[in-house]
Chains A and B, each alone.
Chain A
Amino acid sequence: MDVSCKKIRTSALMTLFGVMLAGTFSLTTFGEDPRLDIKNLEALSKKASEVVDVNLDGPLLKLASKFMTDEDDREGLEVIKNLKGVYVKSFTFEKPSDYTPADVEAIRSQLQAPAWSRIVSVRDKREGETTEIYLMTEREGGKVLGMAIIDAEPTELTVVNIVGPVDIDKLSQLEGKMGIPRLGEQTKEQKPAGHHEKP
């Protein structure tokens, strides 16, 4: 009796382990993890005159949401409610040659179809600016799983990676609220306060 119980327990554990392993495999191997590897950009910190580095995983987002009690924070709270992570790297350089296309390509290469789809790509040849917005959606149901923004300007490079079901409309509506200026109000000097580094 004991032996058969042990066998059942062992097989149940093996099945559970197999399911977990398969889940991990399907998430990582087939590129369904909306978390991007943006570590390669860390080397640019040395060259940049200004660095904004935001790394917020699930527990930190939960903690932050507990402190977002102002009326002004309500809409931001709505946006981050179900997110699993928010990662931002933004660099401002003195010279246009301080970052290379390869730095951007290393990020872009992770944003491949079918997992990711590019919803916006704007290239301004005259200004030398490129903005790309990518979305990862569920294959069935179309639920948003993550978002990535790459904004490459001659002296500025910004990568935003949002992990989780982000509401793009709500996110864009934040402009003009929560201390977020409307475009045109923001000048280059008006970088957000907080996690700034000035080497």
Chain B
Amino acid sequence: MVKLDRFRAQDTYEHIDQEEEFLGGHLARLHSVKGYKASALMTFKGELLASHSSDTQIDLREVGKVFNDIFRTAHEVAEKIGFNCCQEIVINTPKGIVVMRCSGIEVLIHFHLMVVIAADGNLALSKMELEKMTGPIMAGLS
């Protein structure tokens, strides 16, 4: 039903709002993870489809592309050594953790998900949520 409404509303401002709400709704699953700071959904080229931040210092519209580039370079190098493309990158820093997840390069829609949590945030739960979100987002985008 939701999908049908989205289809009917194509090419209207209402449609854009609906799309943002639809994609943002998926990211909302991450908000309850302990230590959550920010999240984003991007095309594999780094174009932002949806983002959310609860930390004023983190503007993923600005740095999302840089992290996306890191991911794409990792894709290429991992392939070079026969590991296939990378599914996930976890970057640990003294003040936080950045997790990036790929939907898969050979799937219908290749997109990247990103979440930033505090250093003591729940990394395992973030990873699980990203994994669980991938299927529904793919179904919604296709």
Q: Do chains A and B interact in one complex?
A: no
